[in-house]
C-alpha cells in the first residue's frame, strides 16, 4: 500500500498482469495510464484502488484484435473531477466491424477531454456535474471511407455522445465528420440548455450547417468562437475541397435574439459565404457587443476595403463593435 502517493504515471504491458489490493492508493489524486487495448482489464482493476482519484488520463492504442471484436472500457470513480481519454489507431486501421464501448460512471466529473480516432460508443451515468467538454475527432476523418452503413452508424454514435453532454456550459468541438454534408443530416443534436460558451472548428470539408445546428440548439449561448478553414485531413478531400455555402436557418436562433454577446471568427478569408455569415450575425444579433475577426492573407488595402464593406451591414445591436485582428 502506498499511503502518501499523490501522482502516478504508469505504462501497462500486456505481458504483466496487475491485481492490486483494494484501496492500495488511498491518497492518489492524479493517474495517467498508457497502454494498448490488450490491457483494459488491468486498467479496470487499478482505477477502483484509488478512492480519492480526481484526475484521470487514459492514453490507449487501439490494435487489431481478431479474437476480440468487442472492447469494453468501464471507468468508474466517484470523486473524479477531470477525465482525459485518447484513443488512437496504431500503424493499421481498425476494421469497422469492431465495437468499442466506453462507459463512464463519475458523478463528480466536471471536465471531459476526448480525442478519438475510431469513434467509440459512449454512455454516461450521472453526468449532471459535467460543465466543460472538449471533443476532438479531427483525425478520425482521415481514416474512414464513406458508405451508407458507416453514415448511419456514425450518426447514431454522435447522437449518443452528445446526449451525455446535456449539462455542459463550455463545449469545444473539432470534428469534421460532424459537418460532413453526407452525414450531418442523419443525426440530431440535443438541446443544450446550459451551454453558454461554444468553440467550433469548421474544417474545409464542413458545411456551415453545423454552425446553424448548434445555434438552434443552444438557447443560452453567450460566447461563440468559430475557427474557419481548418485543414481537412481526409484522404478523399483535396486541398481546395470547400463545402462552405451559407444557408441561414429558417427561424432565427433564440440565442441570437436574446443572449449571444460575443463572436470571434478565426481564419477568415473574405469568401462570399463568410461575408454572408457575418452579415447574418450582425443583422440578427440583438444583444451583440463584439465581433472579432481574425483575417488571413489580407493586404492593408484589402483590409480597409473589407472594413468599409462590413460597416454597411445592418446591425440589430447599436452597441456592437467589429474588430479586425491578424
In this structure, the dihedral spanned by the alpha carbons of residues 161, 113, 26 and 125, taken in order and rounded to 10 degrees, is -10
Query: Distance between terminal CA atoms of the chain?
Result: 55
What is the C-alpha to C-alpha distance for residues 175 and 139, in angstroms, rounded to an integer?
Answer: 8
Instruction: Could you list the beta-strand ranges (E) of 38-169.
Output: 55-62, 70-76, 82-89, 99-105, 111-116, 121-125, 132-136
Q: Would you state the cell numbers that stand for residue 316, as one nine-digit string?
A: 440589430
Q: What is the structure's pLDDT at 294?
A: 94
DSSP classification of residue 152: H
**Cβ-based neighbour number of residue 212 at 10 Å:** 18
What whole-number distance in Å separates Cα of residue 132 and Cα of residue 50? 23
The x, y and z cell numbers of residue 231, run together, are 485543414
Supply the pLDDT for residue 109.
95
The pLDDT score that the predictor gives to residue 157 is 83
pLDDT averages per 10-residue partition of the chain, 326 residues = 87 74 88 83 86 95 71 91 90 66 93 90 84 87 58 75 92 78 69 96 78 94 90 53 75 97 94 94 97 90 92 95 92
3-state secondary structure of 10: strand
Domain boundaries, the chain: 1-130, 142-326
Angle at 175 between CA 281 and CA 179, to 5 degrees: 55
How far apart CA 259 and CA 101 sit, in angstroms, is 37
DSSP state of 106: -
Residue 120 in contact with residue 73, Cβ under 8 Å? yes
| pTM, two decimal places | 0.90
Write out pLDDT tens, residues 139-149.
776 555 555 56
DSSP state for residue 231 in the 8-state scheme: P
Identify the pLDDT of residue 239.
Answer: 46
In this structure, what are the phi and psi dihedrals at residue 277, rounded to the nearest 5 degrees?
-60, -50
What local confidence, expressed as pLDDT, does residue 175 receive?
76
Sequence-distant (≥ 6) Cβ neighbours of residue 108 within 8 angstroms: 78, 79, 80, 81, 129
Answer yes or no: are the C-beta atoms of 40 and 120 closer than 8 Å.
Answer: no
Residue 133 has what pLDDT? 96
Nearest CA among 150, 219, 218, 156 for reference residue 182: 150
Amino acid at each position: 500500500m502506498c499511503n502518501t502517493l499523490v501522482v502516478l504515471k504508469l505504462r501497462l504491458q500486456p505481458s504483466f498482469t496487475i491485481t492490486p489490493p483494494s484501496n492500495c492508493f488511498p491518497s492518489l489524486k492524479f493517474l495517467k495510464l498508457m497502454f494498448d487495448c490488450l490491457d483494459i482489464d488491468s486498467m479496470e482493476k487499478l482505477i477502483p484502488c484509488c478512492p480519492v482519484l480526481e484526475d484521470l488520463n487514459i492514453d490507449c492504442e487501439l490494435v487489431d484484435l481478431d479474437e476480440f471484436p468487442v472492447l469494453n472500457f468501464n471507468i468508474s470513480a466517484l470523486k473524479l473531477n477531470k477525465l482525459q481519454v485518447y484513443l488512437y489507431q496504431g500503424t493499421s486501421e481498425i476494421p469497422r466491424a469492431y465495437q468499442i464501448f466506453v462507459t463512464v460512471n463519475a458523478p463528480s466529473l466536471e471536465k471531459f477531454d476526448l480525442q478519438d480516432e475510431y469513434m467509440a460508443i459512449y454512455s454516461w451515468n450521472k453526468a449532471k456535474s459535467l460543465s466543460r467538454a472538449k471533443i476532438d475527432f479531427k483525425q478520425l476523418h482521415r481514416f474512414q471511407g464513406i458508405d451508407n452503413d458507416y453514415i448511419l452508424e456514425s450518426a447514431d454514435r454522435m447522437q449518443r455522445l452528445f446526449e451525455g453532454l446535456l449539462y455542459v456550459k463550455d463545449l469545444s468541438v473539432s470534428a469534421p465528420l460532424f459537418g460532413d454534408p453526407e452525414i450531418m443530416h442523419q443525426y440530431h443534436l440535443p438541446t443544450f440548455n446550459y451551454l453558454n460558451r461554444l468553440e467550433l472548428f469548421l474544417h474545409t470539408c464542413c458545411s456551415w450547417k453545423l454552425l446553424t445546428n448548434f445555434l438552434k440548439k443552444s438557447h443560452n449561448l453567450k460566447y461563440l468562437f468559430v475557427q474557419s478553414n481548418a485543414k481537412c485531413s481526409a484522404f478523399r478531400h483535396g486541398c481546395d475541397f470547400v463545402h462552405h455555402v451559407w444557408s441561414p436557418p429558417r427561424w432565427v436562433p433564440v440565442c441570437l435574439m436574446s443572449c449571444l454577446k460575443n463572436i470571434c471568427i478565426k481564419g477568415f478569408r473574405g469568401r462570399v459565404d463568410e461575408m454572408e455569415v457575418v452579415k447574418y450575425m450582425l443583422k440578427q444579433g440583438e444583444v451583440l457587443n463584439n465581433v472579432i475577426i481574425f483575417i488571413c492573407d489580407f493586404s492593408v488595402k484589402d483590409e480597409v476595403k473589407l472594413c468599409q464593406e462590413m460597416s454597411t451591414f445592418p446591425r440589430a445591436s447599436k452597441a456592437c463593435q467589429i474588430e479586425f485582428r491578424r
